[in-house]
């Protein structure tokens, strides 16, 4: 079982819609959770961090964490074509683990 | 403010050659990391340094060595390169271990 699992996609949404990205993790003692965006051929770029249960909003992005279910998600509201990228979920327990990423395409 | 800087950006090695990938950060961060990224495998941690003077193995350390030269610099060495080490290598840093990490632009390494 992988430490961090993501649906690889591809996920396609129309412009202006909500994109929902999901991630599960296996280590119950994980403390810190992150979402990164990676454009093709570029380095990962931090979008959000979340450390406690509940929702955290930053602009069009909302991260949701449920430690009991070992689940973290990212919602992107009013999706734009520039949001088309691969989204990486990262979890820190005793070290960092990344998921393999979900490819998102926003269709104009 | 450059953030995290990696050199070189591209490198081709022959099997058995050695090389060192350099990483420097100017954010006064305590923790630094080396990852490799392969298609379908995601980012995997090779080594990390929680603070100056310490280094620890990550998920895939075999075939690599690291040196935390000072607070700013963290290098990754391949002593005898193998084709399986063909990958994109990323250095990252965070203020403290487990906090938000910021990545360099990556080094694309090909071993032939």
Q: What tens-digit pLDDT sequence spans chain B (112 residues)?
A: 689 999 999 999 999 999 999 999 999 999 999 999 998 888 999 999 999 999 999 999 999 999 999 999 999 999 999 999 999 999 999 999 999 999 999 999 999 9
Q: Chain A residue with minimal CA distance to B60?
A: A97
Residue B100: predicted pLDDT: 95
Q: For residue B11, what are the β-bridge partners?
A: B109
Q: Could you tell me if A48 and A93 are in contact, meaning their C-beta atoms sit under 8 angstroms apart?
A: no
What region does B16 belong to: left with phi over 0, alpha with psi -120 to 50, or beta?
left
Nearest CA in chain A to B49: A95
The reply to whether residue A100 touches residue B42, judged by beta carbons under 8 angstroms, is yes
Residues of B in contact with A96 (CB under 8 A): 33, 45, 48, 58, 98, 101
Do residues B101 and B94 make contact, with C-beta atoms less than 8 angstroms apart?
yes
Mean pLDDT in residue range A68-76: 96
Instruction: Compare CB distances from A46 to B33, B59, B102 and report the shortest one's residue.
Output: B102
Give the pLDDT confidence score for residue B10 in this predicted structure: 97
- Mean pLDDT for all residues in chain A: 94
Residue A29 is predicted with a pLDDT of: 87
Interchain CB distance below 8 Å, B100 and A49 = yes
Contact A36, A88 (CB under 8 A): yes
Name the closest residue on chain A to residue B37, using Cα atoms: A100
CA distance B66 to chain A (A): 17
Q: Are B111 and B80 in contact (CB under 8 A)?
A: no
User: pLDDT digits over A1-48, tens only?
Assistant: 679 999 878 999 999 999 999 999 998 888 899 999 999 999 999 999
CB contact under 8 A, A95 and B43: no
Residue B50: what pLDDT? 95
Nearest to B93 by CA among B27, B46, B7, B13: B27
Q: What are phi and psi of A94, to 5 degrees?
A: -100, -15
Cis status, amide bond into B33, omega within 30 of 0: no
The chain B residue lying nearest A8, using CA atoms, is B40
A positions 49-88 inside 8 Å of B (CB):
49, 88
3-state secondary structure of B106: coil
Q: Is the pLDDT at A57 greater than 90, yes or no?
A: yes
Give the one of A49, A88, A95 whose C-beta lies nearest to B48's C-beta.
A95
For chain A, give the percent of residues with pLDDT over 70.
99
Give the pLDDT score at A1. 67
């Amino acid at each position: 079982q992988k430490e961090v699992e993501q649906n690889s996609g591809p996920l396609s949404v129309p412009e202006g819609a909500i994109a929902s990205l999901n991630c599960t993790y296996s280590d119950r003692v994980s403390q810190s959770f992150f979402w990164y965006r990676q454009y093709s051929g570029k380095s990962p770029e931090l979008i959000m961090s979340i450390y406690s249960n509940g929702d955290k909003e930053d602009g069009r992005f909302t991260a949701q964490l449920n430690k009991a279910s070992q689940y973290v998600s990212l919602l992107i509201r009013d999706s734009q074509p520039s949001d088309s990228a691969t989204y990486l979920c990262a979890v820190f327990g005793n070290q960092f683990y990344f998921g393999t990423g979900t490819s998102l395409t926003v269709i104009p | 403010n450059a953030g995290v800087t990696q050199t070189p950006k591209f490198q081709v090695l022959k099997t058995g050659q050695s090389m060192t990938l350099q990483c420097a950060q100017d954010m006064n961060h305590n923790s630094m990391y080396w990852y490799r990224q392969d298609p379908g495998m995601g980012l995997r941690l090779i080594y990390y340094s929680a603070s100056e003077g310490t280094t620890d193995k990550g998920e895939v350390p075999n075939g690599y060595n690291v040196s935390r030269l000072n607070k700013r610099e963290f290098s990754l060495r391949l002593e005898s390169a193998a084709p399986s080490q063909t990958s994109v290598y990323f250095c990252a840093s965070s203020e403290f271990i487990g906090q938000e990490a910021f990545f360099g632009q990556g080094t694309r390494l090909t071993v032939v």
